[in-house]
Chains A and B, each alone.
Chain A
Amino acid sequence: MSTKLPKVPAVIVGMGWAGGIIAAELTKAGIPVVGLERGKERTTNDYLMGHDELRFQHRTELMQDLSKETITHRNNPNMRALPMRSYGTFIVGDGVGGAGSHWNGQTYRFLPYDFEIKTLTEEKYGANKLGPEYTLQDWGMTYDEIEPYYDTFEKMAGISGETVEMYGHRSNPYPTGPMVKTPTFELFEEATKKFGYHPYMIPSGNLSENYTNPDGIARGACQYCAYCENFGCEYGAKADPVVTVIPVAKETGNLDLRTHSNVTQILNDGTKATGVVYVNTITGEEFEQPADVVIVTSYVFNNVRLLLNSNIGTPYNPETGEGSIGKNYCYQVSAGATTLFYDDKSFNNYAGAGALGIEIPDFAGDNFDHSDVNFIHGSGIRMTQYGNRPIAINHTPSGTPSWGAEFKKQSIKYANSTLQVKSQGASIPHKDNYLDLDPEYKDAYGMPLLRMTYDYTEQDKELVKYMAKVTRKIAEEIGADHYETSEEQAPFNVNVDTNTHNTGGVIMGADPETSAVNSYLQMWEAENVFVIGASAFPHNSSFNPTGTIGALSYRASEGIIKYLEDGGGLLV
């Protein structure tokens, strides 16, 4: 039986960026908060032996332990979903800091077009640009409304970047200047400018210079050591909840952070939550934590799964289109890259940083005319320099065997002699891409796993074909000895490492019929449950999601504080 604990004003499920930001804002406002994190406590001490490609990247040290919980996947409703037994296509964060510890640090804002995508697309291209199977929705919040929250997040995290004229307006410049422009980025810059494009340095959560944020947290500049994605930053140069919002929340004395605490259920009376049940993953003890407000901040999969397992909200039904929990699961499309091979040039590509990159805005959102193409939105066309690690990166020209003498020769020859012009494309929702509970598979605590039904759509395939031509054109302008372009989008395959930006399932909007949460991330059907994460995105843009999650977390914090002050009620 579970031990019932004293009631608290607010309980948070998951202590990554969203949970950390909300914990900091609530505790600074004097509100006692219990933070529940299924993984371990973490400080920069945990990162001291961090430059270990095998342990952190290939053995996924910082990620969710799949022996306890995973997802099942099928490409369409006619298939049987099978469990993702080990990591392949995406990684899922775990522990204090969550995915905010292992991320690369690319910190974009979404476009004004994103927030009103349905309205703006129909205004310009008519109601039939995409078929009715694409469940496109506005976000219930405009860019102008979210802008101040982006600004707050960027100042807290110390984002390094430069203003881009073709994107939404900024109330302030980035708090720190852009990262260094590498010699290969100069090649990209020169080539793209020749076509009239507008290259800019990717906004970065790896600090370009020393920085002290409004909370008084001081961090040192990035050393370009090349261990960001999959790794924690032992310098604290990379923005991470562990070195920013978590210590601030702890300092107030109002945060009761409990690690190894896996929430299995939100208790509720059908209209409101009364608390949560959690299991200590080490001892197996079960606890009930009553609370006035339940704040669910477990990115995407566990947000959706917890609501479905708790019978909160109406599950999405792909047959009727009704219901919202699990709706509009989106991803990103990463095919379309061109690799450049050089026979007698080497680059220092072992050096780098997770958010070290250069990009053009000219093919994002509606920054180019879509009248004559069969897709909407677009891609960030970019060159990045994360630091090529030797187990992961072994580019060889096509036709090279994957092992043996020729593989060794070619992979070593090109170890420091390839560049890539890449495309990261937006993902538009489709009625058959959704999340629900698996009918068969369970987690280690006996709760059903989340089932993902997902495949790339015709829209995605058209986008990739178009962007592949763009990356090829830019690559040829840069010039190399050989080029390889991935011209087509293959079916989604859970084994293939592509992209880790899963979104949707608890989407925001202005209409309770078509969305799960309002613009304060408050659930329409349970006013004291707030659900924050990329789960709130009604579609996924071409940009990395963290900047928008950060902004929504500040927005939600404001709403939760108001909700507690008002003593209840829908905020919108």
Chain B
Amino acid sequence: MEESEKYQLDEKGSSRRKFLRNSGVAAGGVVVGSVLGGLIGFGEKEPKETAINHEHAATPAANPNAALMFFTPDQYQTTIAATERIFPADDNGPGAADLNVAIYIDHQLASPWGINAKDYMLGAFYKAEATQQEQVRILRKDLFLLGLKGLDDYSAKKFDSKFTSLDAQQQDEVLTDFEKGEHKLSGVSSSIFFGLLRMLTIEGAYADPMYGGNKDMEGWAMRKFPGSRMNFNNEVVSKEFIELEPESLQSHMGH
């Protein structure tokens, strides 16, 4: 990693210089690249030592974002178990559990997206043909909880146990049946829940860490994805693969 870290610093300095040079972007007094103001301090990124005294923090390293705003502890545990089967730990690196994917999902379901705030929810919900969009009246937050309960109900029926107590192979069997739509949740096929679960798991592994998952950018690091850099002028023309240390949106905050 030493090489790539060195590269990263060089790259950043040059990026900023180049950017500022390119940003004399005004027309008749109209600044069109107003990014300029926002980027002052960008690249001067020696994190300034803060004067905050941490003596009251019992665990200074703890992540205050990793707390629940939606799930009960049981729902959280079921989500951890299910997402870990979708995206398990392996030789490449951590799985969904260690990436805090369940925290990500908790936060998403508590957000306006969890109540389908930007979806069309008017009119009748008829049964869709295969080429039309599934017409789901149930809000995502409710659908997810129905699905979690369904995992336990189905596990009880099939293995006489709750989902979190099953071994990995049994959990996979349950999830496979859910994917095939073999369990009916109230008002909706289990396959709709499974689709939501799978999508949220991938998002939680790879979305910017400010959303609660992709812990320490390890999701990105596993696939050598550099995150949100301000430029790739050298990489885009390089014949060699260049591995960069990931950076998150926090690095765009300027100060």
Contact = CB atoms under 8 A, between A and B. Distances in A.
Contacts of B18: 223
A495 B134 CA distance: 9
B28 interface: yes
B12 interface: no
A100 interface: no
Contacts of A247: 27, 30, 32
Interface in A485-522: 491-495
A124 interface: no
User: Which of A73, A234, A251, A411: most chain B CB closer than 10 A?
Assistant: A234
Interface of B: 15, 18-19, 21-30, 32-35, 37-39, 85-88, 90, 92, 95, 113, 116-124, 126, 128-136, 172, 175, 179, 198, 201-203, 205-208, 211, 219-220, 222-233, 235-239, 241-242, 249, 252
B167 to A, nearest CB: 14
Contacts of A79: 129, 132
Using C-beta atoms within 8 Å of the partner chain, give the interface range for chain A: 35 or more
Given A220-B23, A243-B33, A440-B124, A51 B92 contact: no
A373 interface: no
B206 to A, nearest CB: 4
A391 B203 CA distance: 6
A113 B21 CA distance: 43
User: Which of A65, A75, A356, A390: most chain B CB closer than 10 A?
Assistant: A390
Interface in A445-501: 455, 491-495
A206 to B, nearest CB: 12
Contacts of B33: 44, 219-220, 234-236, 243
Given A52-B208, A53-B206, A247-B27, A404 B236 contact: no
Given A49-B252, A353-B236, A495-B134, 19 more contacts: A79-B132, A83-B120, A183-B239, A219-B32, A223-B230, A224-B231, A224-B233, A225-B232, A236-B33, A243-B25, A348-B242, A352-B236, A390-B223, A403-B201, A404-B85, A404-B172, A408-B92, A416-B224, A444-B122
A350 B237 contact: no
A218 B26 contact: yes
A540 interface: no
19 contacts: A59-B113, A66-B118, A70-B120, A75-B131, A85-B133, A218-B32, A219-B25, A225-B230, A227-B228, A236-B33, A251-B27, A251-B30, A350-B226, A390-B206, A455-B131, A492-B131, A493-B131, A494-B132, A495-B133
Contact of A408 (B90, B116, B130): B90
Given A84-B120, A350-B232, A405-B88, A53 B132 contact: no
B249 A49 contact: yes
Contact of B232 (A49, A58, A224): A224
Contact of A216 (B28, B117, B119, B134): B28
B238 A60 contact: no
A48 B26 contact: no
Contacts of A491: 131
A45 B175 CA distance: 44
Given A45-B34, A348-B238, A74 B132 contact: yes
A385 interface: yes
Interface of A: 43-45, 47-49, 51-54, 58-60, 65-67, 69-70, 73-75, 79-80, 82-86, 88, 180-183, 210, 215-221, 223-227, 234-237, 242-244, 247-248, 250-251, 346-348, 350-353, 356, 385, 387, 390-391, 394, 402-405, 407-409, 411-412, 415-416, 440-442, 444, 455, 491-495
A368 to B, nearest CB: 31
A82 B228 contact: no
For the complex of A and B, list the 4 residue pairs with the smallest distance between their C-beta atoms, beginning with the closest: A220-B22, A51-B228, A351-B232, A223-B231
Contact of A86 (B21, B133, B211, B232): B133
B203 A58 contact: yes
B169 to A, nearest CB: 11
Contacts of B231: 223-225
Contacts of A415: 223-225
Contacts of B225: 350, 390, 415
A380 B123 CA distance: 40
Contact of B119 (A44, A66, A352, A356): A66
A406 B205 CA distance: 16
Contacts of A385: 236
A43 B120 contact: no
Contacts of A235: 19, 22-23, 33, 35
B162 to A, nearest CB: 21
A281 to B, nearest CB: 13
Nearest to A220: B22
Nearest to A495: B133
A59 B203 CA distance: 11
Contacts of A234: 33, 35, 38
A86 B223 contact: no
A66 B118 CA distance: 5
Contacts of A226: 232
Nearest to A443: B122
B80 to A, nearest CB: 16
A494 B32 contact: no
Nearest to B222: A412
Contacts of A411: 223
A440 B25 CA distance: 49
A218 B31 CA distance: 9
A394 B236 contact: no
A253 to B, nearest CB: 11
